[in-house]
């Protein structure tokens, strides 16, 4: 009943095939909520910096599922220690972890009143095609999947698999984003990580013989952040996006009826405290892109200008924050409203966060059977952690100002 009569597959350049043989997984993939992810680019604005990074959250979500599926089938300790129900739960959590994601990544959340993780839980827990399928499988499944995703599940191993510093989510996106952007920074040895993964002391750990592979993975993540995710072009696009939505909200406050008439796709966002699952289905990249074209023809000059910049990749320039006084006075001089034409952007990323009682650290299984926190045994990782924070500050503004 629960297994498909024949395994279904999705061709995938990262994993060869994504393999599905559980009926409940297959059904979730067919839902409107999951199919929506086809219309949201995984990397949002990053495709402005790496033009081939155009893959969707749909592809990434299948990839996360596939890594979880391999964990529960290929990592001996997980295969033995997890029940069938727990395996289904964690595979679904991998598959569905991004189901509530807004278009254009985190910039869009500035006008949403909840974070995407909360919407993910909402779609799983409240009336939706997915909720029906999970309920039909087992009355507690929706709740358990949501708990794995929000990190509150009593079996911490399941949470670690889907959301920790060495989880299926990060592992898929590093490999996938590398492949599609054509950079090599995010590559690491997934096969070897899976081979050296163990359960020890009720935690997911990696054998010490695989520690170099983990170091390589940590560095891959570090490099992807600086080379790809924090690329100035991508940040510039996001800055304009944030300013555009700020302008939209400000205009709405001035004249709600006009704005709701002109931009009906943002009615729910602008008027409701919390979006319904149905409302979320209507939000994807195409919603925004279509709205940008409307805005570009609208009568508000600022909104039109910012929208056209996004459509034609006519982005802001950046400079060192020490030049901000100079830039601000030039903006004033040339008549640009600094609320919408200036942004002080601060990015920070730690290659690895050692255990502090809260985060999910990476654990290493030593030859003597004990587990140690990664930075206590890896010289490379401890070197990197001792250093002060890795950060970058830039100010963004129109190049016409100079």
Range 345-384, binding a copy of itself (CB under 8 A): 351, 379-380, 382-384
User: How far is residue 150's CA from residue 144's CA, in Å, rounded to a whole number?
Assistant: 10
10 binds a copy of itself (CB under 8 A): yes
**Residues present in the chain in total:** 402
Least distance to a copy of itself from the beta carbon of 282, Å? 6
- Residues 43-82, interacting with a copy of itself (CB under 8 A): 47, 50-52, 54-56, 58-59, 62
Rounded to whole angstroms, the Cα distance separating 347 from 288 reads 25
Given the complex with a copy of itself, which of 16 and 256 has the nearer CB atom?
A: 16
CB closer to a copy of itself, 109 vs 279: 279
Taking residues 319 to 348 in sequence order and writing x for each that binds a copy of itself by CB under 8 A, - otherwise, the string is: ------------------------------
Identify the CA nearest to 87 among candidates 62, 65, 60, 69. 69
Query: Which string of x and - marks every residue 287-326 that binds a copy of itself (by CB under 8 A)?
Result: xxxx--x--------------x--xxxx------------
32 scored as a contact of a copy of itself (CB under 8 A): yes
Retrieve residue 98's tokens.
Answer: 């991004």
**Per-residue x/- track, 216-255, a copy of itself (CB under 8 A):** x--x--xx--xx----------------------------
What is the C-alpha to C-alpha distance for residues 323 and 239, in angstroms, rounded to an integer?
Answer: 18
118 binds a copy of itself (CB under 8 A): no
Distances (CA, A) of 316 to 189, 242, 300, 341, 402: 37, 12, 19, 8, 11
> CA angle, 10 as apex, 223 and 82 as ends, to 5°?
75
For position 104 contacting a copy of itself by CB under 8 A, the verdict is no
Instruction: Report d(CA 115, CA 109) in Å as an integer.
Output: 6
Q: How many chain residues are in contact with a copy of itself, going by CB under 8 A? A: 71
Q: List Cα–Cα distances, 142 to 31, 124, 198, in angstroms.
A: 15, 6, 27
Tokens 């000059």 found at: 301
């Amino acid at each position: 009943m629960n297994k498909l009569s024949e395994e279904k597959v999705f061709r995938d350049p990262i994993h060869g095939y994504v393999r599905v043989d559980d009926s409940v997984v297959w059904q979730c993939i067919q839902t409107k909520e999951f199919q929506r992810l086809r219309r949201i680019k995984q990397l949002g604005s990053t495709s402005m910096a790496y033009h081939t990074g155009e893959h969707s959250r749909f592809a990434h979500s299948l990839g996360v599922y596939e890594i979880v599926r391999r964990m529960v089938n290929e990592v001996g300790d997980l295969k033995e220690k997890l029940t069938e129900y727990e395996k289904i739960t964690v595979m679904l959590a991998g598959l569905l972890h991004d189901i509530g994601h807004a278009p254009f990544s985190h910039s869009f959340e500035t006008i949403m009143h909840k974070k995407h993780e909360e919407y993910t839980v909402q779609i799983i827990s409240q009336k939706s095609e997915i909720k029906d399928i999970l309920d039909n499988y087992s009355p507690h499944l929706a709740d358990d999947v949501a708990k794995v995703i929000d990190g509150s599940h009593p079996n911490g191993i399941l949470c670690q698999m889907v959301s920790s510093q060495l989880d299926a989510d990060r592992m898929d996106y590093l490999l996938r984003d590398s492949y599609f952007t054509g950079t090599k920074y995010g590559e690491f040895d997934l096969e070897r990580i899976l081979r050296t993964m163990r359960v020890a002391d009720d935690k997911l750990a990696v054998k010490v013989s695989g520690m170099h592979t983990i170091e390589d993975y940590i560095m891959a993540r570090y490099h992807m952040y600086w080379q790809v995710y924090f690329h100035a072009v991508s940040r510039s696009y996001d800055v304009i996006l944030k300013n555009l939505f700020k302008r939209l909200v400000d205009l709405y406050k001035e004249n709600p009826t006009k704005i709701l008439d002109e931009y009906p796709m943002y009615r729910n966002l602008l008027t409701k405290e919390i979006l319904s699952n149905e409302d979320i289905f209507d939000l994807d990249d195409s919603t925004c892109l279509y709205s940008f074209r409307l805005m570009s023809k609208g009568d508000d000059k600022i909104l039109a200008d910012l929208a056209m910049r996004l459509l034609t990749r006519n982005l802001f320039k950046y400079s060192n924050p020490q030049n901000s006084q100079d830039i601000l006075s030039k903006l004033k001089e040339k008549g640009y409203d600094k609320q919408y034409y200036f942004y002080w952007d601060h990015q920070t990323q730690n290659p690895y966060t050692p255990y502090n009682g809260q985060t999910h650290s990476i654990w290493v299984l030593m030859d003597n059977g004990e587990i140690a926190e990664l930075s206590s045994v890896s010289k490379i990782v401890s070197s990197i952690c001792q250093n002060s924070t890795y950060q970058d500050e830039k100010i963004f503004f129109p190049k016409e100002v100079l």
